Structure 1
Amino acid sequence: MKGKVYKPKCKCPKDKKKKCRCKGNWGYLVDIGNHPKTGKRRQRGKFTFKTKKEAEDALVKFLNEIHQGSYIIETDITFEDYSKQFILEYEATGKVSPGTVRIREKDINRLLDFLAKIKLKKITEKQFQSSLDGLKERGYAENTLKSIHVTGRMIFKKAFKNGFIKKDPSVDSYVPVIQKTVEELEKEKETFKYLEKEELALFLATAEKKGIGFDHTAFVTLSYTGIRNGELCALKWKDIDFQKGTIRINKTYKNDTNNIKKYKLGPPKTKKARRTIVVDDYTLDVLSKHKVLQNKIKLRHGNSYYDKGFVFAEESKEYAGYPTYPKKVENRMERLLKMIDLNLQLTPHSLRHTHTSLLAELGVELIDIMDRLGHSKCDTTKNIYLHVTKPKKKETANKFSELMQGLR
């Protein structure tokens, strides 16, 4: 592969014995082969050099990049169009939940206000940072800004890896800090969405007396095992070993359409989330009684029952046997919380946090709790653990002090 160095706008006589004396720029032009789709000839060049030597040096550097495979042919795709492509590829990995995909889509929509029609290759570090600063001025919360920043970084990192851009404009970007006043910091308190043990007992008792269908069994399972709502909805009877007293978590529920019959089962949130949980006798007994009731429902529906072995299955004629869905579990929980006048911001995920707090209160080690929850790392779990165990740490310090004082 060769290139040529010349003055594209030179009007001097083409006499080799005479030097070019016009003030035009020097440049180079290289034939880089035919386009793989259209078959048309492709050329690349640059014509902004003041001297022939500068153009020759640039040509040598360009040819070296091609031979070493480091040359990137940037495209004219806009940020908006590439974002659509990114989402399709991101979802196609099968490693992310529908909820996470929706979060990425929301983040992209917010960035589109600033970057939509700009060509991906033209976006500068300053422009991307300005978009984050602009979103801060619109009043978005710090966690939302962090999420948008992560999504933007993912898009540009992928574009760079795939050869759409030569430089990632998000490398040195940062989340603009939202400064809090001294008064706000003084008033700020650690708040975690979980139930105290007395509240949990009241909630479960209400679910047993006034719950609908599988309510009581579902909320006992969530609060006594700490599994996620999506994991609950995907649970099958073959995942429960009543003899060994274990529940195996190896899938989660997914449904983008909100059509009960068009559900999907996917792998858990992370590799660590695939786990086997040891279950207490009470929970196993509640599940066993639920299975007896479910068998009666199956007999009533006969062959029309969608029998795929789901533990928490729908009971209505049209959907009998299909797995229930997370939103329904949320609605059932809200209904019960209203009855006993508890915090309506609590969700099924709050029962997972409740499980964490009560295990911490019992003195179970953090590493054991995280293993049970299927976490390799989780700040929320750690924060709940540290919050709950603070009194115990104070008690330990006092005991040590008492020991030493007794030696005086």
Structure 2
Amino acid sequence: MNILSFTPMPPISTERNDKFMPAYYNEESKKWYCKFYYKDWQGNRKQKKKSGFERKKDALEWERSFLDKLSGSPDMAFSDMVELYLEDKKKHVKLKTYLNHKDLFRLWILPYFKDKAINDITAIDIRQWEATLKESTGKKGTLLSSSYMNNILAKFSGLFNFAVRFYGLPSNPCKLAGNLVGKMQKSLNFWTKEEFDCFISTFDKSDPFYAAFLTLYYTGMRIGELQALTLADLDLENGIIHINKTYAIISG
């Protein structure tokens, strides 16, 4: 009987144990790299390699982070969950909305929770963070408004809802913590018809802005929706304007 010898493939594992996650040193580049196997979302076994790390520790941490995100482990680093959440948002919302989410996390949330495990964040942590948020100032050096803080809190809570729904997080700590940043003040500031008539009378009817302001006032469409209109959107025969896009300036 012939005995065949073979070298087994490295096991697929997301355990935080270095014996399953070797790192290698490249003598030519003088850098560390990691190389390991994993299963993609379709169950296919694939190999992953990432190089260019200054330290062995950095290579192992990158591999841990990759496998944590792949497995949806609820003990992954908060920063990794943010990355997954933003990737999902980018696929389902407008670019401007995605960038708004990204900026709010970068400015107000990640600095506080970046290295904490997602399932270690408690309601007390959230309340302490809310307390620091209430003392924070914006670009103009003034305290953040209640509406702005509520917007940040809503995005934060949305991330935990995402983790609960798709990655097995037991509960949303934002819901347990409650809202300490103040309720959003909603108010409507609008012109009466008399005020608008006074305003529009200062324009010559041949002025393009005359038609623009009339359209805004009587339809209620947003400025970005007006700016995005093309001739194809106007059905003059039936008196219909088709609103199907918006205009926004992204990063200049």
- Category of TM-score, reference length = shorter chain: 0.5 to 0.7
Shift of 1:195: 2.0
1:199–1:210: structure 2 CA closer, same or farther, 3 Å change rule?
Answer: farther
Q: CA deviation at 1:191?
A: 5.7
1:127 is matched with 125
In the alignment, the residues of structure 1 paired with residue 231 and residue 72 of structure 2 have an alpha-carbon distance, to the nearest angstrom, of: 54
Unaligned runs of 5+ in 1: 1-32, 41-71, 180-187, 259-408
Using the aligned pairs only, state the percent identity. Answer: 24
CA separation in 2, counterparts of 1:165 and 1:191? 36
Matched letter for residue 83 of structure 1: V
Partner of 2:203: 207
State whether structure 2 residue 250 is matched by structure 1 residue 256.
yes
The one-letter code matched in structure 1 to 2:120 is K
Question: Which residue does 2:146 correspond to in 1?
Answer: 142
Q: Are the aligned partners of 2:130 and 2:181 in contact in 1 as well (CA < 8 Å)?
A: no
Query: Unaligned stretches of 5+ in structure 2?
Result: 1-10, 15-34, 39-70, 137-142
The answer as to whether partners of 1:234 and 1:253 remain within 8 angstroms in 2 is: yes
Secondary structure of 2:217's aligned partner: helix
Alignment check: 8 A CA contact 1:142 1:178 kept: yes
State the distance in 1 between where 2:166 and 2:119 align: 13
1:89 aligned residue: 88
The number of residues matched between the two structures is: 182
Greater share of residues in helix? 1
2:215 and 2:240 mapped to 1: Cα distance?
Answer: 12
* CA deviation string 1:8-67 (max 9, x = no partner): xxxxxxxxxxxxxxxxxxxxxxxxx73389348xxxxxxxxxxxxxxxxxxxxxxxxxxx
TM (normalized to structure 2)?
A: 0.60
State the match for 2:50 in structure 1: none
Specify the SS of the correspondent of 2:177: coil
**AA at the equivalent of 1:197:** K
**Alpha-carbon distance, 1:86 to partner:** 2.0
CA contact (8 A) 1:240 1:247 kept: yes
Q: Can you list the C-alpha shifts for 1:118-159, whole angstroms capped at 9, x where unaligned?
A: 222321221122212321244432222221221111111212
Note closer, same or farther for the CA distance 1:97–1:221 as it changes in structure 2 (3 Å cut): farther
Partner of 2:128: helix, strand, or coil? helix
Q: Where do residues 147-186 of structure 1 align in structure 2 (5 Å cutoff)?
A: 147-163=151-167, 165-176=169-180, 178=182
Which residue in the other structure is 1:114 paired with? Answer: 112
CA shift at 1:202, angstroms? 2.8
* TM-score under structure 1 length normalisation: 0.39
Alignment of 1:7-406 (within 5 A): 34-35=12-13, 38-39=36-37, 74=73, 77-93=76-92, 95-96=93-94, 98=96, 100-108=97-105, 109-138=107-136, 139-163=143-167, 165-176=169-180, 178=182, 192-208=188-204, 214-258=208-252
The 2-side partners of 1:162 and 1:80 are apart by 16
Whether the 8 Å CA contact 1:74–1:166 is kept in 2: the answer is: no
Change (3 A) 1:167 1:225: closer
Alpha-carbon distance between aligned partners in 2 of 1:210 and 1:248, rounded to the nearest angstrom? 23
Amino acid at match of 2:179: V
